[in-house]
A and B are shown apart, each in its own frame.
Chain A
Amino acid sequence: MLLPYLRHYRRTLALGLGAMLLATGATRLIPWILKLAIDALRNGASMETVARLGGAMIAAGAVGGLFLYLQRWLLISTSRRVEYDLRRDLFSHLQRLDLDFFARQRTGDLMAHFTNDLNALRDVAGPGIMYAATTMVMLVLSISLMVAIDPLLTLLSFAPYPLISVVTFFFGRAMYYRSRRVQDLFGLLSSRVQEDLGGVRVVRAYNQETRCAQRFAELNDAYLAANMSVARLRGTFIAAMSALAGSGMAIALLIGGRQVIAGELSLGALVALSAYLAELTWPVIAIGWVIGMIQRGASAAGRIERIRRAAPRIVSGPRRTPPASRLCFEGVSFRYPDAEVEALHDISFELAVGQTLGITGRTGSGKSTILKLILRFHDPTAGRILLGGHDLRGRDIGEIRRMIGYAPQDGLLFSRPLIENIAYGDPDRPREAIQETLARVRLGEEVAEFPAGLATLVGERGLTLSGGQRQRVSLARALLLEPRLLLLDDTLASVDAETEAEILANLRGYVAERTAVIVSHRISAIRAADWILVLDEGRILEQGTHESLVGQGGLYARIHRRQQLAAEIEEVE
């Protein structure tokens, strides 16, 4: 999975690995120079020789430093670029998946792929590759040089080091499980706080503050214990590491010292060998560490690959010419995936260009679903939807959506300036058009009072809009597109009756010019429609014009009467 991404940077990677080779090689020279210098000194060399060797050492350090810089820059930066590419592609891919996919996934889980899993992959692509390669080169070079100095001494003094790798690996595993427990408990702790604070009224009403605090304390104890078990493990590991690495040095001094005494080894060689040994500690630790990293990377790759393999089922048809806005449902039924009952059953109606359809019915009766099918968020399980006489499924999705203005039920806005929210579908709309639309939805005056007018940031970190304001912004967002087909999903539900009446009056001319489907709980919003459907459990219960439906005395008439009464009650002072 990672390979195609890495391949894109193969030249940089090759250069980086080359730099790594040179950097490691150059720095391996330093202990050797040290050996030459000490032996030269022992043999009574001149200051000049020593100075020359010192100069050589600085040169080796400088060359090593330069290539180390190149190595780190080329290799690590590549991993950051790979991370960027992965994130970009993943987001782009996700945006194009069906709504069904999102219904099955929790946003939090998807976000975790973007953070944890991408991090794991990036770690493999950068530090993983770099440390794995460096360690190998280091080991090969250092051990060769050490063997060149003295094979037996190398063997004996290096003996504790493989142990370090093994310990690191097992430590990493044990650490992983214990850390998981800490993380789990941390999650538990967080959700406990969240629950106790979320249910603060119940806790107080039933006088359970002290007991909740006790329970929290118990959880705290467990959390402390888990943390301490990690600390003990880490303590053991760190202590064992320094002791093991130190023993290598001690062995070198003991055995090598004897050889020096026996005249089999020069003092300089002993010092150089110790120096090589000391520098091997980290690479040897890195082996165990890199293995764990690769394991994590592999499982992360699996999770991301699953998303990348998900393909949208709702795809564009071949016809690109924009269809006419004549809308026709022919025996449309629809069932959401995993649902047992149909959300819509055998819905048929026809809407000529410029006509308005009103839809009402109880919550869950399928009103919104009709709009979602027109938008091709889903395809019908039976029947067809025709736009301009052609089946939607044969059309380019972009072309269909381009002609639609949709105001969803929840009035979802984005955390950005108000103007960007209104011009969300077409950021290039002139300001006058925006002002005109704002006036149309009766937001003009309110916006003028916002701290920064149209530039006011809305959403979580900006100004908190009321439900009614949000809905009107959402409506404006749809109206601004001047679509040929307007879909309104209970768009004025949170707007007070008076404002609603004004907006409806403002919209009369606008709606008359285009085909519109208006879903509403409120009769007032749909009474002027050319045709009205009353839905119940996914079926058409009643249909007709407002007058004919009121005359029928059915559900529509009952709802109408109740709403009139409710309006009267509101007016009581």
Chain B
Amino acid sequence: MRGGGQLSGGGPGRGVATGARSYAVPEEHLGRIYDHSLMMRILRYLRPETARVLVAALLLILFSLTSLAGPLITRIGIDHYIANGDAAGLLRICLAWFALLLIGGGLQYAQIVTMNLIGQRTMMRLRQEIYRHLQRLPISFYDRHPVGRLMTRVTNDVEVLNQLFTQGVVAIIGDLVTLLGIMIVLLVMDARIAFVTFAMLPFLFWFSIAFRSRVRHAFRDVRLALARINAYLQENLGGIAVIKAFRREARNDAEFDELNTDHRDAFLRSVRAFAVYFPLVELTQSVAIALILWYGGGLVIQDGLTFGALVAFIQYVGRFFRPIRDLSEKYNILQDAMASSERIFALLDREPEPDAPTTSPYVEAFDPQAAIRFERVSFSYDGKTPVLQEVSCEIAPGTTTAIVGATGSGKTTMISLLARFYDPTAGVISIGGIDTRKVPRAVLRRRMAIVEQDVFLFAGTIADNMRLWEPGISKERLAEAVATSHADVLIRRLPRGWEHPVMERGGSFSTGERQLLAFARALAFDPEILILDEATASVDTETEALIQDALRNLLRERTSIVIAHRLSTIRRADQILVVHHGRILERGTHAELLAQGGLYARLYRLQFRGEAGRSEGLGQSVD
């Protein structure tokens, strides 16, 4: 967060957070408004749009100038034609005005479109940059950062910057041009009246600044109150059972009332500010017109000031005030943009995961059909609690290794390390003698397929989820993969088959069905190394039979590492590793381990004795 300016107490909605007000701590501070280096960094994103920015600025200047013409034309019309009774001249100048209005409309349209295009294109680039950056950050980053908040960086924060580009940066030029243009016109028409008009400016500035600061504070409080209301609603509507059981309804009404009152009162403060500001501006304007009339009237009488000029002055007053009024709005845009860009840049400044070079002797020598070795591999997620401790094992090419153990023993971590989602804190994982850290992740993973226990399905179609977005996978290969993995049975049941829509996170599919789909996905990629984390949740018997059979096809002729919960998988494995508290405690075949009568034998007794046919698993919580 910026500035670190802690909210100081006083007033409702601030101070120590207790009760309902402890919902949602303020995220924003009224700190620095303008940070030059930050602004420069934002503006750097405009560089590819330089030409468009120049065009937009030019259009804006031209348009501002045409919009200044109205009062001037009125003046000429009055002084030159009406005063002299020249009806033809009047027609001419009015036609010119129409023409100017048309041109002005065109300019304004072009300007708005160009400016939006600049904003949108810049945003698009920024969004893509953030997105790609996120894809290059290590998995461990995602363990610490909730996806929802990252999403906000890509979407909402970028959207805030858009305002700066479309309504802020260039529009300020327009306001300045208008302001300056009017000042020049006024000075040229009559310097004396011009100065009378300018006399009102300090007041207007003063009102605007006072107003702006009041509204800003009020709106900040409104946002805070609204955030609290939302957080309160979210939790209490979700926790309605507890509320009812503890008979909190009346108390919650009172608590919610506090938040609701804060929200209303903050809003009322802003309403008050607006209610004071607008009349003040109007009054200032009336005073300005009265002054022009009084002073200008005197000049008309004594000095021969023309009526046209007097009228033009009066007409300009209103336009003169508008840009000043708008400045306060620009100020808010700037402030918001600063806050958002700071959050965005903080994310972009995070170091992406370093990767091995794409061309090296290691890459050329890398052979995925070689033995996999863990050599004294240790790992910890938080740097404190060891999850794996000096794990060593060898997995011969083309064989199946089953890893068994209780929940939390470190099984999943082993395969996460093999896929290089994380790197070991100590020790080496090698394939064919080459440290996996020496080859780029993409090269390593291209030969691997991973089926995780909690299968992630993307919104899209079944086919999308099978081949992901890999164009190299042909329809035929996909059909074969689906047949081998028995996912075809499932797909045939779906009304739209391959094109059947998958909801977000695969909502409508059961655990077993997801597993089948994930098998098909893995097979479609035809990996040399297959990594599989079997689902523990119980599956209906029909699907279970399909899964068992699919697994046999899946594991054939591949180097496979399976976190196994199914007896059938375990029995077939060439090697079983029994993991306990981050160490490999026992290893061998099913028969060998049973004969040893150690931990494996006990695990086996726990889960499978007398129910070898059932689909229950090792490590599953006992139900």
Binding site for B on A (CB under 8 A): 27, 30, 34, 37-38, 41-42, 44, 47, 50-51, 53-55, 57-58, 60-62, 64-66, 68-69, 72-73, 76-77, 80-81, 83-84, 87-88, 91-92, 94-96, 99, 102, 107, 110-111, 114-115, 186, 189-191, 193-209, 211-217, 220-221, 223-224, 227-228, 231-232, 234-236, 238-240, 242-243, 246-247, 249-251, 253-254, 257-258, 260-261, 267, 271, 274-275, 278, 362-363, 372, 375, 377, 398, 401-402, 404, 406, 408, 412, 414-417, 420, 424-425, 427, 457, 459-462, 477, 481, 521, 559, 562-563, 565-566, 568-570, 572-573
Q: Is B381 an interface residue (CB 8 A)?
A: no
- A96 vs B250: C-alpha distance when bound (angstroms): 10
Supposing A569-B603, A573-B581 touch, asked if A231 and B117 sit within 8 A by C-beta, the answer is yes
Q: Report the minimal beta-carbon distance from B59 to chain A, rounded to whole angstroms.
A: 11
User: Would you call A205 and B449 a contact (CB within 8 A)?
Assistant: yes
- Name the residue among B121, B142, B245 with the largest chain A CB count within 10 angstroms: B245
Q: Which of A76, A84, A107, A457 contacts B271 (CB 8 A)?
A: A76
Q: Is B131 an interface residue (CB 8 A)?
A: yes
User: Would you call A203 and B78 a contact (CB within 8 A)?
Assistant: no
B253 closest partner in A (C-beta): A92
Q: Report the minimal beta-carbon distance from B400 to chain A, rounded to whole angstroms.
A: 19
User: Would you call B233 and A246 a contact (CB within 8 A)?
Assistant: no
User: Would you call B282 and A424 a contact (CB within 8 A)?
Assistant: no
User: Would you call B504 and A195 a contact (CB within 8 A)?
Assistant: yes
User: Would you call B131 and A258 a contact (CB within 8 A)?
Assistant: no
Q: Which of B74, B267, B314, B442 contacts A207 (CB 8 A)?
A: B442
Residues from chain B with Cβ under 8 Å of A47 in the complex: 297-298, 301
B271-296 toward A: CB 8 Å interface, digit per residue (1/0)? 11011101110110111011101100
User: Would you call A114 and B468 a contact (CB within 8 A)?
Assistant: no
- A202 vs B111: C-alpha distance when bound (angstroms): 45
B308 closest partner in A (C-beta): A267
6 further A-B contacts with Cβ under 8 Å, apart from A38-B307, A250-B101, A257-B81, are A30-B286, A61-B290, A200-B135, A249-B74, A275-B314, A420-B18
Q: Which of A57, A64, A569 contacts B290 (CB 8 A)?
A: A57
Q: Is B556 an interface residue (CB 8 A)?
A: no
Q: Report the minimal beta-carbon distance from A570 to chain B, rounded to whole angstroms.
A: 7
Residues from chain A with Cβ under 8 Å of B622 in the complex: 521, 559, 562-563, 566
Q: Is B505 an interface residue (CB 8 A)?
A: yes
Residues from chain B with Cβ under 8 Å of A427 in the complex: 251
Q: Is B508 an interface residue (CB 8 A)?
A: no
User: Would you call B469 and A208 a contact (CB within 8 A)?
Assistant: yes
- Which of B46-54, B255-263, B339-347 touches A? B255-263
Which DSSP category, helix, strand, loop or mixed, fits chain B's interface? helix
- A361 vs B573: C-alpha distance when bound (angstroms): 34
Q: Is B229 an interface residue (CB 8 A)?
A: yes
Q: Is B249 an interface residue (CB 8 A)?
A: yes
Q: Is B120 an interface residue (CB 8 A)?
A: yes
User: Would you call B155 and A189 a contact (CB within 8 A)?
Assistant: yes
A50 closest partner in B (C-beta): B297
12 contacts between A and B (CB under 8 A): A37-B293, A76-B271, A76-B275, A91-B252, A114-B230, A189-B127, A197-B142, A204-B139, A209-B135, A216-B127, A235-B108, A565-B606
Supposing A193-B151, A204-B445 touch, asked if A231 and B469 sit within 8 A by C-beta, the answer is no
Residues from chain B with Cβ under 8 Å of A217 in the complex: 128
- 7 closest residue pairs by CB, A with B: A61-B286, A231-B116, A235-B112, A65-B279, A50-B297, A72-B275, A254-B94
User: Would you call B445 and A207 a contact (CB within 8 A)?
Assistant: yes
Supposing A111-B234, A211-B468, A249-B70 touch, asked if A197 and B113 sit within 8 A by C-beta, the answer is no
Residues from chain B with Cβ under 8 Å of A54 in the complex: 290-291, 293-294, 297
Residues from chain A with Cβ under 8 Å of B127 in the complex: 189, 216, 220
Residues from chain A with Cβ under 8 Å of B15 in the complex: none
User: Would you call B247 and A68 a contact (CB within 8 A)?
Assistant: no
Q: Which of B77, B94, B291, B458 contacts A195 (CB 8 A)?
A: B458
User: Would you call B24 and A274 a contact (CB within 8 A)?
Assistant: no
Residues from chain A with Cβ under 8 Å of B230 in the complex: 111, 114-115
Residues from chain B with Cβ under 8 Å of A227 in the complex: 116, 120
User: Would you call A107 and B151 a contact (CB within 8 A)?
Assistant: no
Q: Is B324 an interface residue (CB 8 A)?
A: no
Q: What number of B residues sit within 8 Å (CB to CB) of A? A: 148
Residues from chain B with Cβ under 8 Å of A572 in the complex: 580, 585, 599, 602
Which DSSP category, helix, strand, loop or mixed, fits chain A's interface? helix
Q: Which of B252, B261, B287 contacts A58 (CB 8 A)?
A: B287
Residues from chain A with Cβ under 8 Å of B112 in the complex: 231, 234-235, 238-239
Q: Which of B74, B113, B452 contacts A232 (CB 8 A)?
A: B113
Q: Is B379 an interface residue (CB 8 A)?
A: no
A200 closest partner in B (C-beta): B142
B70-110 toward A: CB 8 Å interface, digit per residue (1/0)? 10011001100110011100110010011001101110111
A573 closest partner in B (C-beta): B581
Q: Report the minimal beta-carbon distance from B563 to chain A, rounded to whole angstroms.
A: 15
- A303 vs B531: C-alpha distance when bound (angstroms): 50
Residues from chain A with Cβ under 8 Å of B300 in the complex: 41
User: Would you call B131 and A81 a contact (CB within 8 A)?
Assistant: no
User: Would you call A205 and B239 a contact (CB within 8 A)?
Assistant: no
- Name the residue among B25, B289, B450 with the largest chain A CB count within 10 angstroms: B289
Residues from chain A with Cβ under 8 Å of B442 in the complex: 207
- A427 vs B18: C-alpha distance when bound (angstroms): 13
- Name the residue among B67, B113, B263, B275 with the largest chain A CB count within 10 angstroms: B275
- Name the residue among B85, B136, B151, B229 with the largest chain A CB count within 10 angstroms: B151
Q: Which of A84, A199, A457, A462 contacts B264 (CB 8 A)?
A: A84
Residues from chain A with Cβ under 8 Å of B469 in the complex: 208, 211-212, 214-215
A27 closest partner in B (C-beta): B282
Q: Is B187 an interface residue (CB 8 A)?
A: no
User: Would you call A408 and B241 a contact (CB within 8 A)?
Assistant: yes
- A37 vs B98: C-alpha distance when bound (angstroms): 29
- A91 vs B259: C-alpha distance when bound (angstroms): 12
Q: Report the minimal beta-carbon distance from A40 to chain B, rounded to whole angstroms.
A: 8
